[in-house]
Structure formats: C-alpha cells, structure tokens
Amino acid sequence: MFATRACNEDFALWLADKSIFNEAGEPEQLFGVLAVYAWYSRTTHTQANGLIVVPWRSEIAFDTAICAAKSWLNRTRLVLQLAPGVIEDAWLKGGKVKGFDFIPLLDRSEILAEARAMQNCADQYAEHLADDKCRLFSVRRDSEHVASLEIGPHSREAGILAITQLKGRHNMAAPLNVWQAAYAWLAGQNGLRRLPPRISPERRLDTATWRQLMLPYRQRKDGAPWLPSAATHDVFDSFNLEMSDLARRGGVSSWLFT
C-alpha cells in the first residue's frame, strides 16, 4: 500500500516480488528514498530526474535499483552541499605539466560534468569534499578529459598530501604518462604539508534547493509527509542508514553502502 502511494502500482508489484520481507520494518523508512527515485525515473524534465544515471524500470534487478537510488541520493547531496563558492580552497594549485592540465573541481557543476565526461564516481564525493577529507582534480589534454585525480592525506606520513586515486575513463587504470605528469605536478607544489581539521567544517545543506527538487513529487503525492521538509546532515544520515538496511536485507554488497 505504501509503495503504491509513494510511487505507483508498477513499483509496488516489483517490490512485492523481492525477498526482503523476512524482518519487520517501517515502509516509510525502508522504501522512502527508493520510491522517490523510482517516481522521478519516469518524471522527465525535472531537476531531480536529471540527477538519475540509471533510471528505475519494472525489469530492473533489485541490486541495480538500490545502487542506482543510492547514487542518485549522493548526487542530490552534492547539489545541496556544494554550491559555487562553498569550497574555495583547492589545497593545491592547478597547472599544466607535460602537456596535461590539472584543474581543481570545487563545486557541483564541475564535479557533475567530470563524472559525466569520465563515466566515473566523482559525483559521489560530496560528503568527503565538504568535510575536507579530499580534493578532486580533472586531468585534461587539449581540453579532452583523460583522468580524474583525488588528493588526500598520505597513508603513512601525517600532515602530508598525496595522490590517493588516479583513474581513467570508466575508472580504468590511468596511462603511465598521466601518472608521470601527475607526480611531476605534485612535485612542483608548495602546499603539500596540510594538517587535517580537528573538527570538520560546517557546510550546511541547502534546504531551499531540497524543497525545489522535491516539489513536483510532493505536489503529486499529497505533500509526501514521509519526506522531511528540511535537508540536514541528520536527515541524510538517516537516509543512508535506511538504505544500508535495505541493501542488507536484499543481500546487496557495494562500496556505496560502506
């Protein structure tokens, strides 16, 4: 009944066929995000639909659907948390080395464009970026995207920045010449020593944008009272816990839920 109310009968029938009901639970918590994602999958020409990479359909496998819904939720958080100007410090300077341009990615539009161009998971880093746990750079040659680079704390040397990831398109291994250029770029930096913040900076989520994103859904679903009206860190923490529980029930294992 809740699945029909929160989405439609197709979604309800699809959900009823899954082996996830061995334990009791509140449907609003278990299926709330999944239902919104499924509804927006068929509601084109909306901003929320534009954040979906893999849309829900009645033939979709459960593991694919819940991973796609979690990816959509993370992209939504990116839009809410990383508006232009929220992060100004890229830690390291961009530049050109060995024919490759290293360009910092600091806001939602830049990060979404990188994920789209590289077909990778750069758009899943909103929380890490907002908490100053990493920085992302786009590596390009003659304006062509060739790799995505992550800078973070060195695994053994406290207070030193290092390359923690360097991936080509589709998260494939980056070519050797890109690695050589990346290390040469890193060697020319003056800000490699950086102590992590003792307390993560408070970068709030944009409630006005959250309301705008969810407005078409609320208008069609009698206000959708199962959705919080304000976007806060606690709200998204609850979403993450609820989706992790649903993944556990469905036997879905993915880095998205770790």
The DSSP H or E segment spanning 204 is none
Question: Is residue 172 left, alpha or beta, with left meaning phi > 0 and alpha meaning psi from -120 to 50?
Answer: beta
Please determine, for residue 18, whether its predicted confidence score (pLDDT) is greater than 90.
no
CA terminus-to-terminus distance, the chain: 30
- Which pLDDT band, with edges at 50, 70 and 90, does 196 fall under? confident
In the predicted model, what is the mean pLDDT of residues 128-135?
Answer: 94
Per-residue model confidence as pLDDT tens digits over 63-100: 999 999 999 999 999 999 999 999 999 999 999 999 99
Please give the biggest Cα pair distance in the chain: 61
Please determine, for residue 107, whether its predicted confidence score (pLDDT) is greater than 90.
yes
* Residue 160 maps to a domain: yes
Strand partners, 101: 96, 140
Please determine, for residue 199, whether its predicted confidence score (pLDDT) is greater than 90.
no
Same domain for 243 and 169: no
Please determine, for residue 198, whether its predicted confidence score (pLDDT) is greater than 90.
no
100-105 vs 95-97, strand pairing mode:
antiparallel
Q: In the predicted model, what is the mean pLDDT of the chain?
A: 94
Same domain for 218 and 179: no
* Residue 200 maps to a domain: no
Full residue range of the structural domain in which residue 116 is found:
95-187
* Residue 195 maps to a domain: no
Last residue of a domain, one of 187, 218, 234: 187
Tell me what percent of the residues of the chain surpass a pLDDT of 70.
100
* Residue 57 maps to a domain: yes
Give the number of domains in the chain: 2
Tell me the CATH number at 168: 3.40.630.30
* Residue 142 maps to a domain: yes
* Residue 89 maps to a domain: no
pTM, full prediction: 0.91
Per-residue model confidence as pLDDT tens digits over 143-194: 999 999 999 999 898 899 999 999 999 999 999 999 999 999 999 999 899 9
